[in-house]
Structure 1
Amino acid sequence: MDLKQMEEVIVKLLEQQSLVLYSLKVKHEFGEKILEVIVDGNDLSSDHLGVVNQKLSLALDAVGFDPNYYLEVSSPGAERPLRNETEVLSAVGKYVHIESNEINSDGYLLEFKEGILLFQINLKGRLKKIEIPYQSVKSIRLAIKF
């Protein structure tokens, strides 16, 4: 069974669990084959991911996936990178970290429209809004505000 066929099985099961597939890959560590399934959604608790892991294991075994593997189900993390414009758009209103030619800072992503990010930072107690062209962004990720 190839990765594309596995992805179809995994996506269908994740939809039933109100989750989406963030990434899927097979990796080798310490001589073992690991199927890494990273999921995203509203409920990323360890209890829910444990249930998803069990259901995915049974579903993959039922369709004939090689049984000699370890299944790893996890979330992309609290400070996950925003990989494309769709993910950036879904982060509007959230606290993010942006590295670009103009800035390297944490702040709130207020808007993303027509290729321009409206970003608000706190400079010594003053809130400042900055427009950043999306094309100039080197990296953008969710951030945790301390």
Structure 2
Amino acid sequence: MQPLQFNISRVGNKALVVVAVALLLMLAAHPAFAAQTAGGGLPFDSWMTKIRSSVTGPYAYGVAIIGLVGAGATLIFGGDMNGFLRTLIFIVLVLAFVVAAQNTLSAVTGQGAEITAAHDMATRSADWITTQVSALQDAVSRVAKGE
């Protein structure tokens, strides 16, 4: 019985090298983060802040709860509805859930739905990737030297 042999053609070998180099370049590139400024200089900042405060305020929370109850009751007890009406009710249900989610999260956890934690996680991930890439580069250099 003959041992198993892998026959990789020259084209397949070149493709493998190209993929390996592309992967190494993607892993070795230091992630670029957006500018870490406080903002405030954009022309639409003031009205976006007003919209955010309107959507996350107590009035919006009350309307969202009423919308959730109303849309849920309509779907349960509404009987036979056409597709357009059902789609509108689902849109109201989803919008009410999204508006109510921020206030519900802040009531349960003490803080709302924030994106700042994602930045910290991305920083930790970038640091981990950087250490893995440096370890991979060290291993490749040792293999190239024949150690």
Instruction: With the length of structure 1 as denominator, give the TM-score of the two structures.
Output: 0.24
Larger Rg: 2
TM-score (norm 2): 0.24
Q: Which has the higher strand share?
A: 1
Bigger relative contact order (CA 8 A; separation at least 6): 2
Whichever structure has more helix as a proportion of its residues is 2
